[in-house]
């Protein structure tokens, strides 16, 4: 998916999220955390500031919430502390990419037990 597609999908999701908050059948429910489909799972993490992080993974993958928290930490460290990053543009920070792939590799290794 290229940048434009990601932006389009993300804005779609933002809309769905806002609508779902109003339509929730159970009381006291604030937001969607997990979307399960046939071929994928979509986990969402929302920070206190309203920033949303998504992970699309194979159905039934465990420990995605922990991974999302780790990614959120990486985001605050390497993206927000970067003086050359402007808000609301696609992230192009080298350090963030390197650490992100490392975190996912570590997670994959831990999951597969190798």
Partner 1 sequence: MIGVGKIKQYSNILEKPLSKGKQEVSLSAFAFLFSELVQYNQTRVDNIAELGRRLEDAGYAVGARVLELLCHRDKGNRRETRLLGILSFVHSTVWKVLFGKVADSLEKGTEHEDEYMISEKDLLVNKYISIPKDMGTFNCGAFVAGIVRGVLDGAGFPAVVTAHFVPMEGLQRPRTTILIKFAEEVLQREARLG
* Nearest distance from C-beta of residue 49 to partner 1, angstroms: 15
Residue 69 C-beta: closest distance to partner 1, Å? 16
Starting at the earlier edge strand, list the strands of the sheet with 41-46: 34-36, 41-46, 52-57
* Residues 6 or more apart whose Cβ sits within 8 Å of residue 16: 32
Which CB sits closer to partner 1, 61 or 82? Answer: 82
Neighbours of 33 (CB within 10 A): 14
In the complex with partner 1, the residue whose CB is nearer, 3 or 81, is 81
Binding residues for partner 1, rule: CB under 8 A, are 77-78, 80-84, 92-96, 98
Q: Which residues of 41-63 are buried (b: 16+ CB within 10 A; e: fewer)?
A: bbbbbbeeeeeeeebeeeeeeee
Minimum Å gap between C-beta 99 and partner 1 is 10
Residue whose CB is less far from partner 1, 56 or 80: 80
14 vs 106 by CB, closer to partner 1: 106
**Min CB(45)–partner 1 separation in Å:** 20
Cβ neighbours for 89, distance < 8 A, ≥ 6 positions apart: none
């Amino acid at each position: 998916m290229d940048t434009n597609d990601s932006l389009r999908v993300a804005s779609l999701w933002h809309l769905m999220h806002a609508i779902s908050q109003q339509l929730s059948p159970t009381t006291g429910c604030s937001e969607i955390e997990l979307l399960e489909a046939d071929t994928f799972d979509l986990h969402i993490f929302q920070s206190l500031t309203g920033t949303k992080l998504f992970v699309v993974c194979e159905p039934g993958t465990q420990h995605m919430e922990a991974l999302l928290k780790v990614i959120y930490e990486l985001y605050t460290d390497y993206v927000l502390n970067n003086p050359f990053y402007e808000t609301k543009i696609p992230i192009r920070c080298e350090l963030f990419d390197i650490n992100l792939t490392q975190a996912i590799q570590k997670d994959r290794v831990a999951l597969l037990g190798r």
